[in-house]
Amino acid sequence: MTLLPPTELRKLTQPPAFPSLSTRLARLINRFQPSLETVVLLLAILIGGGTGMGVVTFHYLIQLIHNLMLEDLMGIIGVWGAWTLACVPTFGGLIVGLMRWRTQDFGPGLSSLIAASQGKEIKQPLRPVTKMIAASVSLGSGASLGPEGPSVEIGANFGMLLSLVLQVSQEQQRLLLGAGAAAGLAAGFNAPIAGVFFALEVVMGATSFATSAVSVVLLAAVVAALIAQIGLGAQPAFALPVYHVRSPLELPIYLGLGLGASLVSLAYKESIRLAKACFAGQVPIFAFLGRIPRHIHPIIGGVIVGAVALYYPQILGIGYGTVQAMLQDVEFSLPLLVVLLIAKLLMTAISTGSGFVGGLFAPAMFLGASFGSAYAKIVALIAPAIGAQMAAPPAYAMVGMAAVLAASVRAPLTAILMLFELTRDYRIVLPLMAAVGLSVWLIERIKPNFNSNSNLQQIGLSELKDEKTEMLQEILVEDAMLICPKKLPTTLGVLEAAKEMLRDRCHSALVINEAEKLVGIISLDDINRKLRIGQNYQNLPTEIQSNLSSQTLLDICTTEILYAWRDEPLSEALDRMALRGLHQLPVVARDNHEHILGLLEKEQIALTCSLAVTHQAIHQYLSAPPITDVVTNH
């Protein structure tokens, strides 16, 4: 028998050496190189899961604080008299005021997050946990607000936080923000379809997107709704009655409901605006409120809400119980419905203006349900013959909920789909669409959203108002586009592309193939992000470093791009930019999207508009009569 040398014997008797973590990571990356779409889909699952758990925790916190205040605390102080009910919202205002005193601000709302996804800076850091606790205290103590707004903000904050940590592109940041908002609404209402359309319609700014974008939002909403069903139950937010269409003549009556719903939503939004102005000291009668510290305002709001709740306790808190009673045809007299409508509207405005934290979805549905029930009773009272052919008041309460919500949020598809998910009955769709469509159309005519003003804010010309905003419709894309944009081949390496863009001092470039046809678009942000990732991988094995250094523009450029046409107004191109929060659009021929005509950038649009304003001012100055002539004529 031959004996092995000691060195060989030690090799055989030693345990096998496992590869280091970096080596295993290298093998994993080489073996599985996920595409950008795969990574975003995985992030959507993470956002949906995190949002679902956050919403479940949020609802449990609301219930916990509700039990502590309205059961335990009232059990102790309730022996002193019924007036002690007013102490509960006041105590909640005291806690929220202390939180505001310590934190000054609870962080950005949904509108600020949307603005941040369009390139604007967030003034306050993300504080989703603090805001969730403040909202739980507000709603649990009886503030006249709802849980859906904070639920949406939980998801949106989670999506924004992930995008900031991973340093994704602005377009992907907007996509993750929309996925988080969809997940929050889907979990809060157990309505994933409505959550998806809310994200596409309100957060992301349109109802049609690339398939990959819709897939991300869908996936996040489904995961969040699934986790919410596990934690909170599979039942919808409301148990709605069966809807019956008694006569085709009811459709004009529903149109009248849509007309009234637009007026209710207008009063709702204006009362909130006025309440905020009052607490800010901007209304002369209530100027003294502006001199009171902000952290005292929730206590004042709590006292007012508590005083009204002594007579009408239905206005306390979210109000789902009262809405459920209206939908189940529990008898509410017409005067009581009108009083609840007015009281809920005012208390919601005071709760918001004083600094309580909560959403405006649930109060809008409360207002819609009470208005719809009252509307049905008024019609039956005025015209008994028509009332005999009408459905019961709960049917009008259901449609009123959607109509007021749609006009308040200006999201008709979200409202229609949300109620359709809650009823699961197709027969309600026709009157629902009629009332919602009319209410949104009327509110846009009464108080329109001027897209031109928002476009001017995007390019830094927000001081232009009224007739000057028409310049965006008058100036064409070809007047503002760069005729000779920077073009880079698909085969160019990332480092070489960075050097070329640095040398030519350009923010973005068009990526073209061998035939000089448009393939994609690349920005400095994309290149900087890739270089930072490469810098973080310096400690990895050489096989990964070589893989990163061998990447070309084709691997990192954006290929799903939107276009602009040279003969369209600037306003339409800016709306398309806002669709995904872009800063530039390639200008191509209408009959051939691969044929490049130029590049449209926001900076060039701002310069073109400023030059147009200067040209108009010069023209007005030269055409104006001399001052001496004006004096002589007078």
Confidence category of residue 181, pLDDT binned at 50, 70, 90: confident
Find residue 518's DSSP bridge partners.
512
The answer to whether 134 touches 109, Cβ cutoff 8 Å, is no
Select from 467, 437, 430, 436 the least CA-distant residue to 450: 467
| Torsion 545-549-554-557 (CA) sign | positive
Write the DSSP string, 374-440. Answer: HHHHHHHHH-HHHHTTSPPHHHHHHHHHHHHHHHHHT-HHHHHHHHHHHH--GGGHHHHHHHHHHHH
Q: For residue range 330-371, what is the model confidence (pLDDT) as tens digits?
A: 888 899 999 999 999 999 999 999 989 888 888 999 999 999
- Phi, psi dihedrals of residue 150, rounded to the nearest 5°: -60, -35
pTM of this prediction?
0.69
Residue that wins the pLDDT comparison between 308 and 76:
308
Distance from the first to the final alpha carbon of the chain: 129
Q: How sure is the predictor about 304, in pLDDT bands with cuts at 50, 70 and 90?
A: very high
d(CA 435, CA 81): 45
- Calculate what percentage of the chain has a pLDDT beyond 90: 15
3-class DSSP state of 261: helix
Q: Which domains does the chain carry?
A: 36-232 (1.10.3080.10), 250-296+304-449 (1.10.3080.10), 471-605 (3.10.580.10)
Q: What number is the average pLDDT over the span 152-170?
A: 78
Cα separation, 253 vs 395, whole angstroms? 12
Answer yes or no: are the C-beta atoms of 459 and 574 closer than 8 Å. Answer: yes
Strands 487-489 and 518-523: unpaired
CA-to-CA separations, 198 to 77, 221, 317, 364, 406, in angstroms, rounded? 43, 11, 24, 16, 11
What pLDDT score does 464 carry?
43
Whether the predicted pLDDT of 531 surpasses 90: no
| DSSP run (H or E) holding 24 | helix 21-31
Residues contacting residue 598 through CB under 8 Å, at least 6 positions apart = 478, 481, 482, 483, 484, 485, 566, 586, 587
Model confidence at 265: pLDDT above 90: yes
Average pLDDT, the chain: 77
Over range 145-151, report the average pLDDT: 84
**Bridge partners, 569 (sequence order):** 476
The region of weakest confidence among 198-212, 218-232, 249-263, 412-426 is 198-212
Helix (H) or strand (E) holding 620: helix 602-623
Q: What are the backbone angles phi and psi of residue 248, rounded to the nearest 5°? A: -65, -20
> With contact defined as beta carbons under 8 Å apart, do 610 and 570 qualify?
no
In the structure encoding, which two tokens stand for residue 297, read together? 């305002």
* Calpha distance 298→356 (Å, rounded): 6
Q: What angle do CA 556, 513, 569 make, to 5 degrees?
A: 80
Do 297 and 334 meet the contact criterion of CB atoms below 8 Å apart? no
